[in-house]
Structure 1
């Protein structure tokens, strides 16, 4: 019978790091999908993002224009301007 030799520590480190990276990537994907879903369904959240992080909303609109919803930016702008006029 062949004697068992312990695996080098580097392989345990690589396996542990790969597992951690996979979990971290899954969590980041879920969080980014959650933010995208909320931006896609909630106009007030988009307005909050526009006030605090306008570059994120610009990326959201650019992705929407690539996918095919090119009227979202103008629709939101019209809605928000109407809100400001009524206040």
Structure 2
């Protein structure tokens, strides 16, 4: 007679935990990319960050300067805001 051995309960929890972790990680990646894209494409949003969260904007500028040493986004933004008087 063939005897069936039930799967251990921890395997079910392990699979669920891995799935939840994967979904949370994917959602975090999508959210982070969406914020980065908004900062990268909208000068008004960068101004909002400058006024309310200057450390976040500084990290954005430094990261851009590390990736591309020829990056002039900081200087362009500062010149634009100086010209606008804000």
TM-score, normalising length: structure 2 = 0.88
Other structure's SS at 1:5 match: coil
Mapped partners of 2:24, 2:72: distance in 1: 35
Indicate the residue corresponding to 1:33 in structure 2: 33
* Secondary structure, counterpart of 1:11 in structure 2: helix
| Alignment partners' CA distance in 1, 2:3 and 2:49 | 62
Aligned length: 85
Which residue of 1 is the match for residue 75 of structure 2?
Answer: 74
Of structures 1 and 2, the one scoring higher in RCO (CA 8 A, sep 6+) is: 1
Structure 1 2/65 Cα, relative in aligned 2: closer, same or farther at 3 Å? farther
Shift in CA distance, 56/2, structure 1 to aligned 2, threshold 3 Å: farther
Aligned to 1:16: 16
Partner residue in 1 for 2:6: 6
2-structure distance, mates of 1:2, 1:50: 70
1:51 corresponding residue in structure 2: 51
Which structure 2 residue ranges, 5 or more long, are not aligned? none
Structure 1 gap ranges (5+) = none
Distance 1:30 1:80 in 2: 30
Q: TM-score, normalised by structure 1?
A: 0.88
